[in-house]
Chain A
Amino acid sequence: MSNTKLNDIKESALKDFQKAANSTELYNFKVQYLGKSGALTEAMKLMASLPKEEKPLFGKLVNEVKAELETVYAEAESNLKNKEIESQMLSEKIDLTLSASTTERGHEHPIYKVTHEIFSIMARLGYALRTGPMIEKDYYNFEALNIPKNHPARDMQDTFFVDETHVLRTHTSPIQIHSLENEKPPLRIIGTGPVFRCDSDISHLPNFHQIEGMCVDEKVSMADLKGTISFFVREFFGPGLKTRFRPSFFPFTEPSAEVDCSCPICKGSGCSLCKQSGWIEIGGCGLINPKVFEFAKVEYPKWQGFAFGFGVERMAIIKYGVDDIRHFPKNDVRFLKQF
């Protein structure tokens, strides 16, 4: 009799657990059957009235039913919870075609982006960054770089004058002289900053930027210079690009060379950027002229060196394809956003 009752309770419970529409209802059923005063607990009380020999069997049966119901309950509960979370998430749907934030990320100016990239490449070769004053003594801008007064080499750079003895530096090369005077060789430095030329047209700004390197050591050759620049070109513009030296003239280097690299746009096959030549002029370089060492009071030929320099705006024009140099000082957000 009691066994039948136990079975009824079980069947009823299983039916109810299946029937429950949500976890609260399910829980109520759980209390109803498995709770402290639930049906199963009540059934357990019947055990007292059973003959002694039947007790263990009945007890076992009750425990079996209890275990089964608890298992079924747990499964049903987990199913219901899952369903509920699913429906909750559907109701909490957010339209992600909308965007919340209107703030933009900030952008580096291409001039500084290029400067920093060049600096980072050269830093890997052990070059330390240097800066210097923009209002420079005539001596540092010209004479110490072997450009005497009334020398035609001065015509190569249109100069802004501040007073009788000061100019706005026309190149970053005075940084070399400061470094030679203030630091002890061997030296590897990279100098950068704004420079000034009294010249403004479609391809020149009166205030632009240069970056240059100097290496002073006991034995320095043109091959070292070419190797260094070739490494730089491949790192900066991409692998596979070639470097070409052409003889040129700078008062502070001897021998001097102009540096061309194979056009990064067309890879040398000819395009409008390289004027169909396959080559792009990127800067000047050479072995440091012994006269420069004399001015800076560095012993030559014990110490020798090379130096090279690039125009930062020009590098940015080549690298990013900027079509007009006059964009650089305008700071139009539409321009800056592209970098």
Chain B
Amino acid sequence: MKISLKWLNDFVDVAEFFENPIALADILTKAGLEVEEITNRAKDFQNVVVGHITVKDKHPNADKLSLCQVDIGHGKIEQIVCGAQNHKQGDKVIVALPGAVLPGNFAIKKSKIRDVESNGMLCSLKELGLATVSEGLEILPQAATVGMSYSEFAGYNDVNFELKVTPNRADCLSHYGLAREIGCLLNKKIKKPTVQTEFSKELTSSKIKLTVENSELCPRYCGRYISGVKISESPAWLKKSLESVGMNSINNVVDVTNYVMLEMGQPLHAFDADLIAGHEIVVRTAKASEKFKTLKDQDLNLTGEELLICDSEKAVAMAGVIGGLNSGVSLITKNIFIESANFQAMSVRKSSRSHGVETDSAYRFSRGVDPSQTQEIMDRAVYLIQQVAGGTAFAGHHDIYPKPITKKPVHINMQTITDRLGYVADAKLFEQYMQGLDCKLEKIGSDYSVTPPLFRFDLERDMDLVEEYARLKGYEHITETLPVFAKEPAKHDAKYLNQTKLSEFFRAEGFSRAFNYAFANETTENAFLGDASLYDKWGLGVSKEPVKLKNPLSEEINIMRRCLSNLLWRNVCENFHSGNSSGQLFEMGSVFSKGSAEFGEHQRLCLTMWGEPFGLYSEQTPLIYKMKSVLEKLFSFLQISAATFQDVQPTPAFLHKGQCTSLFVEGKTIGFLGSMHPVLLNNSKIRVPVVMCEINLDMLIPDQARPVKFKSLSGFQPVDRDFAFVMDAKKPVGDLLKELKKAAGSNFKDSTVFDIYEGDKLPLGQKSVAVRLSLHSFDQALTEDMIKIISEKAIAGIMKTTGAQLRQ
């Protein structure tokens, strides 16, 4: 909220802060009313004054420039060169003198323009930052006092605060309310605004009758009739006050209602009384699908929950939110009906939110408006309307307030304050603070019963008063201690710890961790995934229907993601096109699914590698093998021994059909490893191989970490045997290795393929595979006979399952 220090000064003496507004801003910020910005126009316009052009000559050396002698007051005349064309001798103008700094950090200095001395600058409003367009110099009225500072002349000798008022402090949403708070903080007296109204003998009810049908949503309604007002432009003081806090002037009556709202925090509405049909106002809830046109010309379709202000025929306002187009004050209005009411906060907020009509009035009502001042503030407005628009105020105002609102007393013990703040609370100080806050205080033994004022909606419990005590004393008095903890600490979330462990592993393998939004674009993701049902086979369930956002920020991100690959693929493309020609990324995070009743969140791990090795001594291993070796190390890291790579069909839409396999871990398929589809690479102009792997993390990592179990070391030397087989070039070598392992049984240590050959020396379609089998035993030295038995078993098994022959 914008606050004018000048306006504030009407109610509490803050004159001392005009020179040093930061001091007041600090006091407010420390009290929980954060001043986010200070604007000081007087400072901005230092050395900018009202001048009088006494002589205007042509510049001797330039046709388009004029040479002016300008009276700047106090008997001083300055010579100024000017490039504008719209001024003449005798004009009053705005002069920026040396020392002035105009917007854009433009410092005015004494200078020479085309060999002629110039001691300042004549200004347009644009140059002063007060207008976006200006046609030449601003010519001031002849009545302007020469030598007066421009800020004083223009009424800019004010300081403005941008105040951040938290939702609990509705009482500070007005100048008077803030003055009251400052009065309490600085122990100063506050003044109430003037109300001196004379009423005619006629009664308001003779012109407008009032019925409140729903007093739950409208606890209090006051109204007064004023006849014979003259609608016109507002006087300068009123306009400037509103402008100083960023509000536009409309006409004198509407301006007064806004002025009083900013002054006292009570929203008001003025109706053109002659447009109220049937001479009556009825406060009632809307009928379902009733129509209403706001004064801003918006057509609303009502739900039936809104509270309306109606006449005998139609709605004339949506209570507390906005007036109707059919009954507002216009230039031809003669008689008005002023409404000052109290509406239920939640009801106003709901009406305002559901129709997207945000107004200053709804903002205040939804935070809370003091119900005890409804009539006084109405008459403050009536008084001001009479000042600026004339008219006769009728006696016998309406005031329907069937159940006066009261505040429950709050019981508080001094020990509570001491305990919760961690320092000894002082009873005298407490009394002083509570009185300063307008609370009624009653001492009951060592306890107090405190009745807060009606305007403090946030004071309901003892803890609220504890906060007030801490706030008024200053949070800086809170000391620093560490709580003692008697219980043994609880266990960490296993999921988090597992992810931390995995992150360390992958970083050691050269992968950097990525973070992508949990959002995706539905169309893009669907196109990427293809048939959602095939992923079940891969251990990565993708729900056909994504979780959709009801109010996405943009259509670009309109669903919750169902896979990570799609997003890491985009990261790869962006990286590649930013010049990162190779790299390795991984991400761990949730994907989302929509069940019949609940929403599912599943943990996924996704890895990607792109680019080719480059440079001397770089490894020429195909990228997909590199990734596979990382996964093999991962299984070992996680103590998983039963992990294989198996063929699954059909393959994910985004993967290369010939370079893709599933991860088969302990009897379950839990993800895929594959190269990206050549068409995707081509479409995104990625000229290097890209490998992608996505794993169901919930299935990869069990809740309990596997314990490390030591096996004693073999005291016997391992034995190596090399074999070369010739087999069908299309058959996977993996089948051969499986047989080797099977044949070796408990003596199996390791097997390594060290050569694969296809070419002239072999028949077409055949390949030779050279493999080293390592054998060991824990309880004896392996004899030649034993090795022979294993070898023969292996050769026979391999021949049987793969058709491979031992190469002679």
A223 touches B512 (CB 8 A): no
Contact of B492 among A123, A198, A304 (CB under 8 A): A123
* Chain B positions within 8 Å of A129 at CB level: 492-493, 496-497
Residue B481 CB within 8 A of the other chain: yes
B167 touches A153 (CB 8 A): yes
Interface string of A164-207 (1 = CB under 8 A from B): 00101000000000000001001111001010101110000111
Residue A131 CB within 8 A of the other chain: yes
Interface string of A305-339 (1 = CB under 8 A from B): 00000000000000000000000111111101100
* Chain B positions within 8 Å of A247 at CB level: 30-32, 467, 470-471, 475
A107 to chain B, nearest CB (A): 4
* Chain B positions within 8 Å of A125 at CB level: 482, 485
Interface string of B538-567 (1 = CB under 8 A from A): 000000000111111100010010000000
B620 to chain A, nearest CB (A): 12
A:225-250 near B, CB below 8 Å: 226-228, 230-231, 243-249
B:323-362 near A, CB below 8 Å: 345-347, 349-350, 353
Stretch at the interface among B96-104, B383-391, B503-511: B503-511
B518 touches A194 (CB 8 A): yes
* Closest chain B residue to A179, Cβ basis: B490
A107 touches B480 (CB 8 A): no
* Chain B positions within 8 Å of A192 at CB level: 496
Q: Count how many chain A residues have C-beta atoms less than 8 Å from C-beta atoms of the other chain.
A: 92
Which of B492, B557, B585, B614 has the most chain A CB within a 10 Å cutoff?
B492
Docked Cα-Cα span, A196 to B553, in Å, equals: 11
* Chain B positions within 8 Å of A98 at CB level: 616-617
Residue A256 CB within 8 A of the other chain: yes
Residue B168 CB within 8 A of the other chain: yes
Answer whether A108 and B507 are a contact pair too, CB < 8 Å, given A162-B550, A244-B476. yes
* Chain A positions within 8 Å of B614 at CB level: 102
Stretch at the interface among B420-428, B638-646, B734-742: B420-428
Residue A270 CB within 8 A of the other chain: no
* Chain B positions within 8 Å of A144 at CB level: none
A226 touches B512 (CB 8 A): no
Docked Cα-Cα span, A44 to B16, in Å, equals: 121
Contact of A134 among B508, B515, B580, B601 (CB under 8 A): B601
A207 touches B518 (CB 8 A): yes
Q: Count how many chain B residues have C-beta atoms less than 8 Å from C-beta atoms of the other chain.
A: 95
* Closest chain B residue to A328, Cβ basis: B515
Docked Cα-Cα span, A153 to B346, in Å, equals: 11
Residue A27 CB within 8 A of the other chain: no
Residue A28 CB within 8 A of the other chain: no
A109 touches B493 (CB 8 A): no
A255 touches B483 (CB 8 A): no
Contact of B584 among A106, A161, A187 (CB under 8 A): A106
Answer whether A224 and B422 are a contact pair too, CB < 8 Å, given A106-B506, A128-B489, A331-B571. yes
Contact of B508 among A106, A123, A217, A219 (CB under 8 A): A106
B463 touches A289 (CB 8 A): yes
Residue B366 CB within 8 A of the other chain: yes
* Chain A positions within 8 Å of B403 at CB level: none
A131 touches B495 (CB 8 A): yes
Residue A127 CB within 8 A of the other chain: yes
B550 touches A163 (CB 8 A): yes
* Chain A positions within 8 Å of B511 at CB level: 106
Interface set of A (CB-CB < 8 Å, partner B): 98, 100-109, 111-112, 116, 119, 123, 125-131, 133-135, 148-153, 155-156, 160-163, 166, 168, 183, 186-189, 192, 194, 196, 198-200, 205-207, 215, 217, 219-224, 226-228, 230-231, 243-249, 254-258, 287, 289-290, 304, 328-334, 336-337
Instruction: Provide 28 A-B residue pairs closer than 8 Å at the C-beta atoms, listed in order of the A residue.
Output: A100-B618, A101-B617, A104-B510, A104-B583, A106-B506, A106-B584, A128-B491, A131-B495, A135-B599, A150-B346, A152-B366, A160-B550, A160-B553, A161-B549, A168-B518, A188-B489, A199-B553, A205-B517, A215-B483, A223-B423, A223-B479, A230-B480, A231-B482, A245-B475, A249-B168, A258-B34, A334-B580, A336-B585
Interface set of B (CB-CB < 8 Å, partner A): 29-32, 34, 166-169, 345-347, 349-350, 353, 366-367, 419-423, 458, 461, 463-464, 466-467, 470-471, 475-476, 478-483, 485-487, 489-493, 495-497, 500, 503, 506-519, 547-553, 557, 560, 571, 574-575, 578, 580, 582-586, 589-590, 592, 599, 601, 613-618
